[in-house]
């Protein structure tokens, strides 16, 4: 039975269908349906991968190993929650008159396309196709960022698309370099551009060429993944996009770029293994990961805008995931994968809550919305508070465990300095986020500043779905999921 093809085709056909459907409700329902289907398919894929190792379709054009399956699950969950939230969100926006039906349709067409692009990134075997898919996700999301057509959102979209495209041009150059290395080792034929093939001939590739290629790819996909100092588009795009899109950008899109980078990281490591430069790509990842982690807290502390602060928190988490992978011990890689999952369940809740706040106060500036948001939006604030506790890494939430795994893995691998740096950065952002959020969420409202329309408890289904599964998976990880992550960690660690 075909598994991978429907994962791509379902959201794609929903996107096309949404071009024709007249009603907003139907479009929202179709979105939910599409991603619920892919989630189901993703779970089936999980079992298939565990049973068969690698699932291939269309003569290896599509292929899914444990890492891909894990990413498919993340994309599906976040997109599903987004679709759930988006229906009511845009209903309110239209009622407030800030958006037209045409733009709403744009959202419901582009979001499944965005999802399709991300699915193609993780399922494509051919590295060139993977590049094209990453570019596709960038292009479909840029119009989503510009959805409100306000000055700031256009500015954010412009920065996003220009920086992203420049980065991706570099990534393409790196991809071409990798292919050229394959051509050089087999001069007479047109070699396959498949990742699986390149892995099988990794030892014969020219190390110098692969190193140069990795530098290009790193800067390229690293820009898309938002590593500092290429992160400048990230807070702009996250803060100006509609909240459902922010959730998808932060929840999965960044991780998809990281996934693309990881494929090259694995390949480069396999090629350089045992040579004088073994761990070249790992060092790059480590350096930029730590830099992102250290940079983020200071920006969190000075932020005056809720969603920008959340964006910097994403930068922090991406840095941590990257560092965990770079430490390259089975435990830290496992921790990083776990962190990806928990972060994908946490961050959208925060953005959804920020969306509710935005719609109530028509602003995201701290001085406008705070203090005492809790008096106006009690349900939202409770959920947001829980998610924030999770995001800063407090038990019993999963991010606490994954952070602990990474740090203890680092200590076990005798990376004392790195572990200490991680701990310091995490503590700093912990203080930053909690301090900022308590200031606006708690306390009494300023006199005379009480929005009349205060019965908003919208978006609760999406948020409780995510928070509930976060809590569930924090205390209990199903055995197949655990096994999948172990296999994925083994792929990244280079021990298939």
Determine, following the binding rule CB under 8 A, whether residue 148 of this chain makes contact with other proteins: no
Among 263, 286, 135, 131, CA closest to 210 = 263
Determine, following the binding rule CB under 8 A, whether residue 159 of this chain makes contact with other proteins: yes
Nearer to other proteins, 154 or 199 (CB): 154
Among 471, 337, 442, 339, CA closest to 382 = 442
Dihedrals φ, ψ of 305, to 5°? Answer: -135, 130
Determine, following the binding rule CB under 8 A, whether residue 162 of this chain makes contact with other proteins: yes
- x/- mask, other proteins, residues 211-230, rule CB under 8 A, reads -x------------------
Rounded Cα distance, 134 and 125, in Å: 13
Report the C-alpha dihedral over residues 473, 474, 475, 477, rounded to 10 degrees. Answer: 40
Peptide bond into 371 cis (omega under 30): yes
Residue 151 beta carbon to other proteins: minimum distance, rounded to whole angstroms:
5
- x/- mask, other proteins, residues 175-214, rule CB under 8 A, reads -xx-xx--x---x--x-xx--------------xx--x--
Rounded Cα distance, 463 and 67, in Å: 26
Determine, following the binding rule CB under 8 A, whether residue 301 of this chain makes contact with other proteins: no
Nearer to other proteins, 173 or 423 (CB): 173
Determine, following the binding rule CB under 8 A, whether residue 161 of this chain makes contact with other proteins: yes
Residue 123 beta carbon to other proteins: minimum distance, rounded to whole angstroms:
14
Nearer to other proteins, 146 or 437 (CB): 146
Rounded Cα distance, 454 and 380, in Å: 11
Number of residues that bind other proteins (CB under 8 A): 51
> Of 70, 90, 114, 131, which one interacts with other proteins (CB under 8 A)?
131
- x/- mask, other proteins, residues 65-104, rule CB under 8 A, reads ----------------------------------------
Residues of this chain that interact with other proteins (CB under 8 A) are: 61, 126, 128-129, 131-133, 135-136, 139, 142-143, 146, 149-152, 154-159, 161-162, 165-166, 169-170, 172-173, 176-177, 179-180, 183, 187, 190, 192-193, 208-209, 212, 235-236, 239-240, 299, 302-303, 308
């Amino acid at each position: 039975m075909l598994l991978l093809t429907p994962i791509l085709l379902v959201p794609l056909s929903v996107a096309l269908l949404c071009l024709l459907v007249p009603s907003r409700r139907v479009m929202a329902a179709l979105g939910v349906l599409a991603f619920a289907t892919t989630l189901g398919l993703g779970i089936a894929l999980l079992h298939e991968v565990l049973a068969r190792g690698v699932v291939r379709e269309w003569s290896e054009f599509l292929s899914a190993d444990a890492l891909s399956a894990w990413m498919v699950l993340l994309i599906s969950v976040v997109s599903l929650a987004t679709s759930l939230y988006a229906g009511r969100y845009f209903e309110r926006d239209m009622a407030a008159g800030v958006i037209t039906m045409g733009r709403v349709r744009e959202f419901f067409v582009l979001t499944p396309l965005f999802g399709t692009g991300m699915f193609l990134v993780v399922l494509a075997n051919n590295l060139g196709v993977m590049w094209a898919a990453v570019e596709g996700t960038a292009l479909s999301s840029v119009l989503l960022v510009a959805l409100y057509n306000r000055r700031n959102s256009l500015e954010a979209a412009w920065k996003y698309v220009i920086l992203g495209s420049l980065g991706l041009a570099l990534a393409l150059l790196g991809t071409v370099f990798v292919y050229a290395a394959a051509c050089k080792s087999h001069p007479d034929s047109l070699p396959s551009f498949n990742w699986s093939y390149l892995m099988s001939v990794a030892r014969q590739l020219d190390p110098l060429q692969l190193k140069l290629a990795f530098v290009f790819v790193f800067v390229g996909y690293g820009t898309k993944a938002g590593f500092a100092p290429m992160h400048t588009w990230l807070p702009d795009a996250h803060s100006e996009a509609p909240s459902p899109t922010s959730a998808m950008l932060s929840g999965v899109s960044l991780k998809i770029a990281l996934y693309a980078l990881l494929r090259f990281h694995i390949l480069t490591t396999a090629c350089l293994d045992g040579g004088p430069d073994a761990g070249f790509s790992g060092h790059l990842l480590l350096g930029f990961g730590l830099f992102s982690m250290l940079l983020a807290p200071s920006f969190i502390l000075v932020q005056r805008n809720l969603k920008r602060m959340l964006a910097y928190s994403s930068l922090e988490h991406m840095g941590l995931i990257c560092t965990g992978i770079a430490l390259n011990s089975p435990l830290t890689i496992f921790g990083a994968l776990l962190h990806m999952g928990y972060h994908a369940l946490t961050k959208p809740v925060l953005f959804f809550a920020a969306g509710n706040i935005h719609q109530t106060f028509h602003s995201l500036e701290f001085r406008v919305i705070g203090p005492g948001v809790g008096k106006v939006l009690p349900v939202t604030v409770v959920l947001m508070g829980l998610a924030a506790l999770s995001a800063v890494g407090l038990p019993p939430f999963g991010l606490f465990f994954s952070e602990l795994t990474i740090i203890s893995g680092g200590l076990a691998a005798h990376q004392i300095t790195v572990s200490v740096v991680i701990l310091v950065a995490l503590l700093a952002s912990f203080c930053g986020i909690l301090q900022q959020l308590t200031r606006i969420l708690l306390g009494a409202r300023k006199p005379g500043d009480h929005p009349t329309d205060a019965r908003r408890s919208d978006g609760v289904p999406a948020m409780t779905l995510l928070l509930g599964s976060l809590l569930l998976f924090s205390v209990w990880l199903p055995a197949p999921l655990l096994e999948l992550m172990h296999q994925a960690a083994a792929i990244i660690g280079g021990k298939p």
